Structure 1
Amino acid sequence: MNNLNLAALVKSEKRARKRMRYLALLHFTEGHSRTAIANMLKVSRTSVNTWVTHYLTHGISGLDDKHNPGRPAQLSAKQLINLKEFVQRQSLPESGGRLMARDVSLFIQSEFGVTFKQANIYRLLHQLGLSWITTRSRHPKQSQDIQDAFKKFPAVNDP
C-alpha cells in the first residue's frame, strides 16, 4: 500500500483509534523510526511496534479492532433456566408474600455457590426477561368472607 492510499485512509477514517494506527503506518512508510512515530503521536513505542507488526503480517486488516468477548458469565445457561423457574415458582403462591432480591441471592448462593450484589440480582432478572414490578402482597390470614361481612356494616357517619 502506498502513502497516498494510507493518507486517504487517515482522512476518511471516522474512528480515532483506527485513524491513529493508519497515521502511524503512514509515518512508518515515510521512513520514520518507531520511536520517532511514538513521540509524534504521543503513544508508547510498544503500541507502534504492535501496529506495524500487525500490518506487516496481516496487511491493512491487521489494524482492525478485535472483538473483545468480555468477562465470562458466572452462571451457565442451565443455571439461569433454573433461576428463572425458581423465581416464577416463588411468585405464584396464593398465600401471598413477596420475593425479594435477598431471597434470590440466597438461592443463587446455596444452589450455585456464587454471590451477587443486590444491583446485579436486579440486572440478572431483567436479563432473564423478568419484571421486578410486583402486585400488592396478599396477607396469609386474609379472608374474603370477613371482608364481605365488613362491607355490610352501615357507615356510622352517613346520613
Structure 2
Amino acid sequence: MNARTNAPDRVEVNEQGEKVTTFSLKRACNGCGQLVGDVDNRDVDERGNLTDVRGECDHCRPLVELEAAGCRTWEVTPRSINRVDDELDRLDVYAKGYWQEVDGKLQVVGLRVGTGETRVVARFGDWLIAHPNGKFTVHKAPEAVR
C-alpha cells in the first residue's frame, strides 16, 4: 500500500490582501481515531462506504495482524461493554464490569475478564483480544483516547 500523504495547512495572502488557509481533509483511523493522513480514493469503497484503515495506523496495525492470525478483538467502550460481555458469556468466559472511584463516585470503567492470575482488565477505549489458545490480552488505548 502506498504511503499516505499528510499535507500541512498552507496560509497565504491573496491578491486582495486577505489571509487564506488551504488545508487537506484528514482521515482518522476507524479503530482509535488518530489521524493517518490525507483523505484519498482508498477511503471509500465501490458502494460509498468508508474503508478500514486500521492497518495504516501505528497503534491499530497490531490488532489487524492479530485478527489475521485468528484472534477475536473487541473495543471496550461504555456503549459496547454489554455486547462484549454477552459474546464472552456465549464463549463460556467469565467477565464483569470493572469498578473504580472516579470523581468521588464508584463507577464502571472497563471490563474484567477471567479469574485468578490469568484475569485481565480492559478499560474503556482498550481492545480486548481473545487468542486462539484461549488466552486473553489487552491492547491499551492510545493516551490521547484515555
Is the pair's TM-score, using the shorter chain for normalization, greater than 0.5?
no
**1 or 2, which has the higher helix percentage?**
1
TM-score range, shorter chain: under 0.3
Larger Rg: 1
**1 or 2, which has the higher strand percentage?**
2
* TM-score when normalising by structure 1: 0.21
Higher relative contact order (CA 8 A, sep 6+): 2
